[in-house]
């Protein structure tokens, strides 16, 4: 154990120079471009926090329990700086590499016995980094899921859904029926009563957009129905007025409805992918110790 203790003590007492070597390396490595613009004053503390925790994680009987919290914070810090997961993991691998580069430079393992301890230390260190990759990946997945849910917040309000799963879907039909009745009444009032073709049709985009969000491609039928009624009403009540404007408006209902339906389907697919991300907390079932 003396060789392992010697390695750990070396890392603990030389955390800053090792961290500075790592910072200089990660700033110029082509596999870590997201770190290139970060100053050393930011990078060095990142590595020093890891090296400061090294001893505690190295000698514990349950490295998974001890390292989980630290590597979750590591993931949060790097995700908060918009560093991709692959670069965050590769930077961690570089931290491990610099441990051994510095240890070799200091020639702390000289005798055959100490070389045996060096192998034991290497195995233990690799185990720690295996846990690091697992916990960092899981935390990144959680953070990505949270970010997607935050971005979908307004969309979920329009979809009448909540992140907690409470759905208001049964109310969509009555709400849409009320919008359609209002749209029909408005069209009749302006065409039949006022005899005018003023641009009231902007209000009709509300049911068009909501239908496309709620029912996606099927919701385009609402746009088609509104456009058809608009044209029919024009033919019946506004025979002497130009027909072209309402034709364009009816066509725009279909265009807007189709575009929103396409985007709504894309959002739904992204949400499904987000929900498919494995949840954290299964390490005991997976056999971690």
Residue 214 lies in a domain: yes
Q: Are residues 181 and 131 in the same domain?
A: no
Q: What is the pLDDT of residues 41-70, one digit of tens each?
A: 999 998 888 877 776 666 666 767 777 777
Residues 62 and 146 in one domain: yes
Q: Please give the mean pLDDT across all residues of the chain.
A: 78
Q: Which domain holds residue 11?
A: 2-151
| 17 and 89 within one domain | yes
Domain membership of residue 158 (yes or no) is no
Residue 271 and residue 187 in one domain: yes
pLDDT on residue 254 = 95
Indicate if the pLDDT at residue 92 is higher than 70: yes
Query: Is 156 within the bounds of a domain?
Result: no
pLDDT for residue 285 is more than 50: no
Task: Output the pTM of the full model.
Answer: 0.53
| DSSP strands (E only) in 178-221 | none
Q: Is the pLDDT reported for residue 76 higher than 50?
A: yes
What total of structural domains would you count in the chain? Answer: 2
Q: What pLDDT score was predicted for residue 197?
A: 72
Asked if residue 15 has pLDDT above 90, the reply is no
Same domain, 132 and 180: no
More confident residue, 37 or 109: 37
Residue 67 shares a structural domain with residue 186:
no
- Residue 270, pLDDT > 80, answer no
Indicate whether 131 belongs to any domain.
yes
Residue 147 sits in the same domain as residue 22: yes
pLDDT at residue 37, rounded to an integer: 92
Residue 283 in any domain: the answer is no
Note whether residue 269 is domain-resident. Answer: yes
Q: Are residues 54 and 132 in the same domain?
A: yes
pLDDT exceeds cutoff 50 at 289: no
> Would 128 be classed as within a structural domain?
yes
Give the range among 23-32, 88-97, 216-225 with minimum mean pLDDT: 88-97
Considering the domain architecture, whether residues 147 and 6 belong to the same structural domain is answered as yes
Same domain for 10 and 121, yes or no, is yes
CATH number at residue 113: 1.10.490
Residues 10 and 136 in one domain: yes
159 in any annotated domain: no
The answer on 39 and 102 residing in a single domain is yes
pLDDT given for residue 277 in this prediction: 55
The full DSSP string for the chain is -HHHHHHHHHHHHTHHHHHHHHHHHHHH-TT-GGGTTS-HHHHHHHHHHHHHHHHHHHH-S-HHHHHHHHHHHHHHHHHHTT--HHHHHHHHHHHHHHHHHHHHHTT---SHHHHHHHHHHHHHHHHHHHHHHHHHHHHHHHHHHHHHHHHTHHHHHHHTB-TTS-B-GGGHHHHHHHHHHHHHHHHHIIIIIS----S-GGGGHHHHHHHHHHHGGGGHHHHHHHHHHHHHHHHHH-TTS-SHHHHHHHHHHHHHHHHHHHHHHHHHHHHHHHHHSPPS--TTTTT--
Across 180-196, average pLDDT: 88
| pLDDT, tens digit, 9 for 90 and up, residues 198-230 | 767 888 999 999 999 899 999 999 999 999 999
């Amino acid at each position: 154990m003396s060789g392992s203790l010697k390695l750990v003590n070396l890392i603990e007492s030389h955390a800053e120079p090792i961290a500075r070597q790592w910072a200089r390396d990660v700033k110029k490595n082509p596999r870590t471009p997201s770190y290139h613009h970060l100053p050393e004053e930011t990078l060095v503390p990142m590595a020093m926090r890891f090296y400061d925790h090294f001893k505690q994680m190295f000698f514990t009987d349950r490295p998974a329990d001890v390292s989980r919290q630290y590597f979750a914070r590591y993931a949060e810090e790097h995700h908060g700086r918009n560093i991709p997961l692959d670069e965050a993991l590769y930077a961690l691998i570089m931290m491990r590499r610099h441990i051994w580069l510095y240890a070799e430079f200091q020639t702390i393992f000289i005798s055959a016995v100490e070389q045996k301890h060096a192998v034991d230390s290497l195995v233990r260190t690799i185990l720690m980094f295996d846990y690091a990759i697992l916990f960092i990946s899981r935390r990144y997945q959680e953070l990505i899921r949270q970010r997607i849910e935050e971005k979908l917040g307004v969309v979920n309000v329009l979809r009448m859904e909540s992140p907690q799963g409470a759905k208001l879907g049964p109310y969509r039909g009555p709400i849409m029926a009320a919008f359609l009745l209002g749209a029909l009444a408005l069209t009749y009032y302006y065409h039949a009563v006022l005899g005018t073709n003023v641009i009231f049709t902007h209000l009709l985009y509300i049911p068009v957009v909501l239908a496309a969000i709620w029912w996606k491609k099927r919701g385009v039928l609402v746009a088609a129905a509104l456009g058809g009624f608009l044209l029919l009403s024009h033919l019946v009540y506004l025979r002497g007025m130009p027909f072209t404007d309402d034709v364009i408006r009816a066509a725009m209902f279909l265009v807007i409805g189709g575009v929103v339906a396409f985007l709504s389907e894309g959002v739904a697919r992204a949400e499904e992918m987000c929900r498919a991300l494995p949840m954290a907390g299964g390490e005991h079932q997976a056999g971690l110790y």
